[in-house]
Structure 1
Amino acid sequence: MSEAPLSPATQARVFLPLAVVTLVWSSTWLVIRDQIALVPPTWSVAYRFAVGAMAMMAYAAVTKQTLRLTREGWRMAIAVGITQFVLNFNFVYRAEHYVTSGLVAVVFALLVVPNAILGRIFLGQGLSGRFVAGSVVAGLGIAMLFIHELAAGGAGQAAVAAGIGFTLMAIMSASTANVLQATETAKRQPMVAVLAWAMAIGSGLNMLIALATVGPPMFDPRPAYALGTLYLGVIGSALTFPLYFGVVRAIGPARAAYSSVVIPVLAMGLSTIFEGYRWSALPAAGGLLTLAGLVIALKARSPAR
């Protein structure tokens, strides 16, 4: 059967969480850019999710929510910790070494594509021709953005290619975590407990990786770095991930990616203001084409099945 439109009650229930996530995550791209000035990315990721895990555990204590997990719950926490809080964020932080935060955010909007494809494979959710067509249009828009970057020659073709590659790997890692959260197994687990332990596991693994690859802990003494770490850990993680994954559980990973259409618009605006990104006809057309393609894809209904 076809995927039914969301009921007014469901729309009301998911609108506010998605609005909060969209506004917060639009700003985190720029904060991440500042985080990688002096400190190796893996250490910055480790600090972020150590703060996030502590904030979530404090929230659980205040609200008297359990942090206990079953064996099934621990497997879910480990899987989400590795895919979301180790792989995804290490790739994102590294991507921002090579291209502006706004461009990484625009490419990351393609998260809707693997979310829908993996949802089809593992959750039985259908794919329509309109979705495929919209995804192709969005891909052409992304190509136009990076043709402009390559032609500009600022960071060099190898750097731009690295930025694209790291972002695409981040998308696949995040999409895996998204689909995991939409499974019936995840829905049986307490959200706060799974995410608190997933962040703690992710932070611990990041610390081990950092020790093995770049050496002892490093910390940027600037107040902006400390404040940025707190913002990313508490607001950008402990607040937003429970909201976002709650929406994923409620309406599925593809529909939850509606936020990815708006986030790059706001992120590119911030990049223009704070990073000096300069628009010309080609990247402007590419950005609009990307967003148009995503809107087409997200408005598609699943085919009968």
Structure 2
Amino acid sequence: MTPSGVSRVVLPFAAVTLIWGTTWYVIKTQLGVVPPQWSVTYRFAVASALMFGACILMRRTLRFPPSAHGFFLLLGLLQFAGNFNFVYQASRSVTSGLIAVVFALLVVPNTLFAWLFLKQPISRRFMIGAGLGIVGVALLFQRELTETGWSGAFATGLALTGCAVIVASISNVMQGTVRARSYDMFGMLAFAMFYGALIDAVAAWVTSGPPVVEWTPLYLGGVFYLAAFASALAFVLYFNVIRIVGPAWAGYTNVLVPFIAMTISTILEGYRWTPLAVAGAVLTIVGLVIALRARSVPAGTAAAGGTTGRS
């Protein structure tokens, strides 16, 4: 990969993985007093405001045709409303570790949808690497997987997590289309997050009643971090990577995020690694190396319309 490819793909990919790997720890500050649905609403309301502010400061266009707003509304519904609300609802009956394992599978529908709708090829080496990474994540959370008992609530939570994976994958593939690449990234995200926050607010009011805010530095700081870094910054980087290399390769970040989260837990919470967890970490890294070697991505190829899937 050329130095330009590293700066345009690898560094943003690494930044997104690191940022989203920290969100598990920060999200703990959002649970308790405030209903999760309202926390999601605040997150994307603030993120949208930040994106609009960035557009104004950077003189990015905010003028789009009506058809573009239909695209932005669908993106907001899928990525910033459906995805996060499904996950937060699932978290009531499914552990965060199991949700992470299921989300590691995002690389599979991303790859299949990219092949089906974007005609991006799939290589055997990439699928082997992704498979090893998914197995590695499962080993990281082996205890949660084996200790979770089946029940109606658990099955519902697992189904909701599956729904979250599918809608997130569809929104990922939307970014690989020629239509998405025709829109300015900042303006598109500003409106998509705005529409998503509106939908989140309606869902929150219906399911949890009027808004509730926890006026503490810890909670408000968590909202700002999740909005500014895990949403505004991370999605700009992540969607841009999708536009360059396709949704399959970019989706591998969901395999690595749990590994980063466990590392942070080791440093800040004293998590103790078991032999299986160590094996899982090793498999995750090996899988990443294989997946990366499966495709050396020339910067800008996808934007030119070539077949540049994670393959």
Name which of structure 1's ranges 55-64 and 159-168 shifts more when overlaid on structure 2.
159-168
Code of the aligned partner of 2:60 = Q
Counterpart selection for 1:244 from 238, 241, 260: 238
Does 2:241 match 1:263? no
Match for residue 9 of structure 1? 4
Match for residue 121 of structure 1? 116
Deviation at 1:269, TM superposition (A): 1.4
Deviation at 1:150, TM superposition (A): 4.3
Residues 226, 85 of structure 1: alpha-carbon distance in 2 compared, 3 angstrom cutoff: same
Deviation at 1:10, TM superposition (A): 2.5
5+ long unaligned stretches in structure 2: 296-307
Counterpart selection for 2:175 from 173, 177, 181: 181
Deviation at 1:164, TM superposition (A): 4.9
Match for residue 201 of structure 1? 195
Counterpart selection for 1:292 from 286, 296, 307: 286
8 Å CA contact 1:134, 1:293 repeated in 2: yes
Query: Matches of 1:295 and 1:168 in 2, distance apart?
Result: 27
Deviation at 1:235, TM superposition (A): 1.7
Match for residue 108 of structure 1? 103
Deviation at 1:51, TM superposition (A): 0.1
Deviation at 1:118, TM superposition (A): 0.9
Query: Matches of 2:145 and 2:252 in 1, distance apart?
Result: 29
Match for residue 46 of structure 1? 41
Deviations for 1:108-144, whole angstroms, at most 9, x for unmatched residues?
3332222111110110011122333344444444444
Residues 298, 175 of structure 1: alpha-carbon distance in 2 compared, 3 angstrom cutoff: farther
Question: What secondary structure, in the 3-state scheme, does the structure 2 residue paired with 1:284 have?
Answer: helix
Matches within 5 A, 1:20-99: 20-97=15-92
8 Å CA contact 2:81, 2:199 repeated in 1: yes
Deviations for 1:82-109, whole angstroms, at most 9, x for unmatched residues?
1110111123334444566566445433
Query: Matches of 1:108 and 1:70 in 2, distance apart?
Result: 34
Query: Matches of 1:219 and 1:15 in 2, distance apart?
Result: 38
Match for residue 207 of structure 2? 213
5+ long unaligned stretches in structure 1: 1-5
Residues 277, 105 of structure 1: alpha-carbon distance in 2 compared, 3 angstrom cutoff: farther
Deviations for 1:9-31, whole angstroms, at most 9, x for unmatched residues?
22332233223322222211211
Question: What secondary structure, in the 3-state scheme, does the structure 2 residue paired with 1:131 have?
Answer: helix
Code of the aligned partner of 2:165 = I
Question: What secondary structure, in the 3-state scheme, does the structure 2 residue paired with 1:82 have?
Answer: helix
Deviations for 1:48-105, whole angstroms, at most 9, x for unmatched residues?
0000000011111111111121133112201110111011112333444456656644
Residues 144, 243 of structure 1: alpha-carbon distance in 2 compared, 3 angstrom cutoff: closer
Q: How many residues align?
A: 297
8 Å CA contact 1:138, 1:292 repeated in 2: yes
Code of the aligned partner of 1:14 = V
Does 2:131 match 1:132? no
Residues 33, 156 of structure 1: alpha-carbon distance in 2 compared, 3 angstrom cutoff: farther
Residues 10, 144 of structure 1: alpha-carbon distance in 2 compared, 3 angstrom cutoff: closer
Match for residue 220 of structure 2? 226
Q: TM-score, normalised by structure 1?
A: 0.84
Q: TM-score, normalised by structure 2?
A: 0.83
8 Å CA contact 1:150, 1:157 repeated in 2: no
Residues 167, 268 of structure 1: alpha-carbon distance in 2 compared, 3 angstrom cutoff: farther
Name which of structure 1's ranges 50-59 and 90-99 shifts more when overlaid on structure 2.
90-99
Query: Matches of 1:286 and 1:162 in 2, distance apart?
Result: 27
Query: Matches of 1:44 and 1:292 in 2, distance apart?
Result: 36
